[in-house]
Structure 1
Amino acid sequence: MKTILPTNKLFANKLIKAFAFCFPLFFLAACDNQTSELLDDIWDGSEDDVCEEDVTSVDFKQIAYWSISDEETLDDIDFTKLTHVIYNKIGVESNGNLILPTGEDLDEFKEMIDLAHTSNIYAMASIGNASDSAFNSIAGNTTALNDFIANVENLIKDYDLDGIDINWQFPTTDDEGDLFEDLVKEVSDLTTDQGVLFSYVVDSGEDDDATDQGVQEDALGYPDFVNVMALNTTDNDELHSSLEDAKEAITYWTNRCVVKNKIVLAIPVYSQGDAVLDFNDIVSDDLDNACVDEATNIEGPSGNIYDNINYNGIATVIAKTAYAQTKAGGVILNAVNQDYVEDADYSLLNTMYLQSIYQSNTICD
């Protein structure tokens, strides 16, 4: 298992490194500078974490978030091509109360769970809001946190869920990191007691200082897996969520000593650029759009024409899934209800699934 060495062991290893390097140069003034610089790194914590060799086995996960949309999509999704489906998402209030779907939306939530179980895959629910203010309040108040945990327990039991996903986007400071750790520890204790799965979302690490503070070392020990939201990143090119951006995100969490099996790479099913369009809308306009990452003269669902959009096409999804198979523990579509479902050959879900069993989608060859 790849873990961070205990602090005293890590400290000792760094001291050994310093003196082993300088002993042959003991009488040379240059050694003083080398030792001083390394010891400075030790005191300020800037030396990289030392990770043990990762010898854990990987159970490659094919996951998708599903959310209620304007059109019925459940009957069009082949859940047998997934290992997990996560309902996205259940809201939460600052007092710990959950905001459940109602009416027809609740019926679809239940239907998603039934279809998942019929397909012998895990059905989970994600909890979170558009902002993290509620989670901050809950984690900082014992009564609210206790009520939240009790409500999550009822959610699991009432709807026969197989797991909980915490969607706190995103803790970015030391104070928030402490609160985040408090909350995920309690959820982990609950899910362990209930015998269900636990995951939470993390960002790509693009702003590594903020992520280091928001998701601290101890918090990484609690989930069964983390969903790495390598979305809307543009580090390496003008394309959002490129393959290189995905590689950098996986590398960040690997360097944080998260074992491969716990790292799940998120893949977008929407565009950026002149418009945020569903992959379904992009491919419905022209099937050839499924085979590229950029398109022009696209007619959106409202009839508007967009000249510059970029997204993840089939080739990129193949490449990301293949990379995750070597460096991570799974992939997750951020919104499977945005996928193209009229022809499985052009579906990102089908593309992800085929690569997961080492059969490439050849429709774009």
Structure 2
Amino acid sequence: MGSSSSKSSPTPSPNTSTSTIDYRAKPTMDDLSNTNNGGVEISKSMIDFNLGDKPCPLKYTVQDQFNIVNMNKTKLKFHIEPIQPKEFQLSFSPSSGTIEKGKSKLIKVKLIVNQKINTNHKIVLRIEGGASHFLTVKIRCETGVFGVDPTTLECVEDEGFSVPSILVSMKKSLIESGGLQQEGIFRLAGEQNEIKRIKETMNRNEFTSSTDINTIASLIKIWYRELPSPILNSVPTEKIFYSSDVDECVAAVNNLPEPQKSLLNWLLNLLLQVSSYSSVNKMTAQNLAIVVSPNLFDQRSSNPMEGLVMSQKCVQFIHNVLLNRISQYRYSKSIEI
């Protein structure tokens, strides 16, 4: 089984507060747009090396660039802190330095990918005495069933929704292995080596299950997280931001284009099944929304406060829709009785 230690889990415990901001609060869009950027503007928050949908080549240098603009009345010092995994080499020139007031600094980015990987890699731009900013390095070079356009995959009907067959296979494995009753399912991370191994077999269209239930749950989240266009990014920002009205959240889901609509509804149905065993697995609708929502939305702004608020609003959005789904399910069961 996957380790239950906090170090192995990529998502916070639902019972642990990670912020002083209440995701149920109701700030205005003006509050968000006026959030202090620390007097810094960044020309782009998504670094994709201008590849678009083209795969990133292996062991070949690709380049991109962006500008940091200092709007402060004094010069500032900056430092970029990338984490260097073994799968690729990422460098910034310059990676640190000063920017005079009213001036900008051009930052050149170089990437060499050592092995096939699909990821949205986060880096931190630290401003001395100011707020940190976040940028996303988009890397797509692995073909298969992860990180690709879902319309290119073989789809099957499952519970009334047309979804890639790999999702149905993972759900079947999860349920047959007792995943619905597993405490902390979708919250606890699977074993990283096992996740990598099974993911590689899936990308070769050779699905194999795992004795680690948390690995399968993790792979379902990873599949959604690595979509070229995250599902909730297709929902108008204001619909997520003002997510206190359940009916409006449900309407926003119903107005999603395909395949996003079917993909989200399929996932919500799976989460509904998981929540029905919450007395055993401890995963209530709120807990599930907290651990699953981050995989459905990619914050494109470098503004850290905006990213924090929007991520929490996504939690509320999914929580509302899931509560509505649970209510409908219970009502249908009472009618049957």
TM-score, normalised to structure 2, is 0.32
| Higher normalized contact order (CA 8 Å, seq sep 6+, divided by chain length) | 2
Structure in which a larger fraction of residues adopt helix: 1
| Structure with bigger gyration radius | 1
